[in-house]
Amino acid sequence: MIFSTNASDKGIQIKNMILDSVETWTVTEVISNGSDGGSYEPSVTLDSFGNAYVFWLDYSDDYLGSGSDPDIFLKFWNETTKTWKTSLVTTESWDGIYGLHCDVDSKDNIHLAWSENSNIWYKYWNVTSQTWNETSEITTESNGGIHPFLVVDSADNIHIAWSDSNNYDGSGYDRDIFYKFWNATTQTWNTTTVISIGSTDSSGGYGHSMAIDSSGNVHIAWTDSTDNYYGGESVLDIFHRFWNITDQSWSSISLLSIGSTDLSHEPSLVADSLGNIHLAWFEYTQDYYSSGKDYGIYYKIWNATTISWNSPIILDNEFDSSAYPRLAIDSADNIHVAFYSIDDYDGAGDSDSDIFYKKWDSTLKLWTSTTLISTESPESHHLYHSIATNDIGDVSIAWADKSNFDNCGTDTDVFYKKLGFLPSPVLNEITPYPSTTGDINLAWNAVPEANSYHIYRSNTFITSVNVLTPIATTIAYSYVDLNLPNGYYYYVVIASSDIINSSLSNVVSIGVILPEVNEFPLVTSIFLFGIISICTLTIILRRRKKRD
């Protein structure tokens, strides 16, 4: 299995490229091609070059020579060659697999954790050696683990949280949230820590999540059905606890679903560049926070400065009912949300469930309108979906779907879409300045994925090209605008691919001052005209006199 890519200069304006580019979703692709036994629980991650890794659990009989047991597979998108490659990841399967989760580290190595035979397992893909390491067991102190959640922090430490029914460290035989991490410095796993201390009922049975903030604090959120657990009043509540890296200790447990009187499900956490923690979850409490609905998606933020949570807001105002939010965050602190709904929104249809997407735009400080993702899915999708982003602004969503799209069959398959960004080109400053020839030399950087460039010129500053016509279109990275008269000119360039245009490049300007042509002074011209006129008149008069 070869996942190599050609590393190239990633540029120095990544955040600006994300903000100054235009986005569009690709057509749906079937990830689990050839599978006929059911494909579930996709988990997707993206590396820094835009390569996509989509893992899933497959129940097909002997898919890719895997045998009759369920196994985990990977489909890899190579951004350089623009091709997919499918491979078998786990060959040690013994029993049912309950949950898998992946993440990428700073060196673009891929890390995977999954539950099998009531234990949590881990392996990673070494991007340098192009090999998987040997599978290792995480649950060395317990044997009841399911649904691992894996996060790699900025120092490449590996954190795993899971739900476990083992009576470890006096936790009891109910399900609790356990946690351990790999120390990248000492190259060792620490011992398991019980997070949901004091719980006497199921912890994490309806979802748990983890995020590492910019200081290295570890935040874990989970569901718990223990009666009156830390002030919880509902059948199922969401709780939060974090590791304080300064104090080297775990915080007390806090209730997040305050005011809920029924069911709070599926928490999802991400951390922004300022250390704030963002939480989304699915709430089944009638008219929760005056929402006017029975169930929906809510969102709140933990402020890293005040060390407190704000009040929740409703994320799905356009919907009567939606659920199962999944969050991702990019380097510009845009928040991306994928979720599930049965509503007929944006042409989704009212006879199936669909996947939807919306984003918090950190520049405009607002939530975008919701977009239908599963546009080619006439049948209900499964509850499993996954979303990922990277530092160059790519967003990918994978989900399980029963639709017979692209002749994939009526079994459940994994589908995939990517939100692509075409960065704006960067125009070089024009030299020499001013121009004394009227010939203007323009040059800009090559934009990945672009196959042509449109050049625009105006006598006024350019903020839009809606009323302008390109003066030229070229496949090159330069252009010469010839024979301009005296004046002041502004230029922009737009990159174009087969499916999308970029937004405007930076605006550059140039003045044209052509040299003056040497001319006779006016007095000299009049004097010469007078002399010529007198001479001409004298000649005419002499000729007449001779004739007389």
For 430-439, what is the mean pLDDT?
A: 95
CATH number, domain with residue 503: 2.60.40.10
User: In residues, how long is the chain?
Assistant: 548
pLDDT of residue 17: 38
Q: Is residue 151 part of a domain?
A: no
Are 103 and 119 in contact, with CB atoms under 8 Å apart? Answer: no
Q: Is residue 333 part of a domain?
A: no
Q: Is residue 506 part of a domain?
A: yes
For 501-519, what is the mean pLDDT?
A: 87
State whether the Cα torsion 50-42-96-282 is positive or negative.
Answer: positive
The number of beta carbons lying within 10 Å of the beta carbon of residue 183 is 13
CA distance 364 to 362: 6
Question: Locate tokens 């704006």: which residue?
Answer: 424
pLDDT of residue 93: 61
Q: Which residues pair with 324 in a beta bridge?
A: none
CA distance 28 to 406: 9
Distance of CA 64 to the CA centre of its chain: 30
The pTM for the full model equals 0.78
- Between the alpha carbon of residue 508 and those of residues 195, 234, 336, the distances in Å are 56, 60, 33
Note down the domain range covering 481.
440-512
pLDDT of residue 381: 66
Closest CA to 317 of 356, 268, 373: 356
Are 22 and 503 in contact, with CB atoms under 8 Å apart? Answer: yes
Closest CA to 174 of 159, 194, 160: 194
- The mean pLDDT value of the chain amounts to 88
The domain total for the chain is 1
The number of beta carbons lying within 10 Å of the beta carbon of residue 520 is 10
pLDDT of residue 544: 67
Q: What's the pLDDT tens digit per position in 311-345?
A: 999 999 889 889 999 999 998 899 999 999 988 88
Q: Is residue 104 part of a domain?
A: no
Closest CA to 297 of 274, 262, 276, 322: 322
Q: What's the pLDDT tens digit per position in 333-387?
A: 999 999 999 888 877 776 678 999 999 988 789 998 899 999 887 776 667 899 9
- pLDDT bin (cut points 50, 70, 90) of residue 499 is low
pLDDT of residue 12: 30
Q: Is residue 368 part of a domain?
A: no
Are 213 and 219 in contact, with CB atoms under 8 Å apart? Answer: yes
Task: Determine which helix (DSSP H) or strand (DSSP E) holds 535, and give its type and residue range.
Answer: helix 522-547
Q: Is residue 100 part of a domain?
A: no
- Between the alpha carbon of residue 151 and those of residues 223, 322, 395, the distances in Å are 19, 26, 18
Are 163 and 175 in contact, with CB atoms under 8 Å apart? Answer: yes
Q: Is 534 helix (H, G, I), strand (E, B) or coil?
A: helix
Q: Is residue 102 part of a domain?
A: no
CA distance 138 to 125: 17
The number of beta carbons lying within 10 Å of the beta carbon of residue 233 is 16
- Between the alpha carbon of residue 464 and those of residues 458, 467, 480, 507, the distances in Å are 11, 8, 22, 11
Q: b/e for 343-370, b at 16 or more Cβ within 10 A?
A: bebeebbeebbbbbbbbbebeeeebeeb
Q: Is residue 10 part of a domain?
A: no
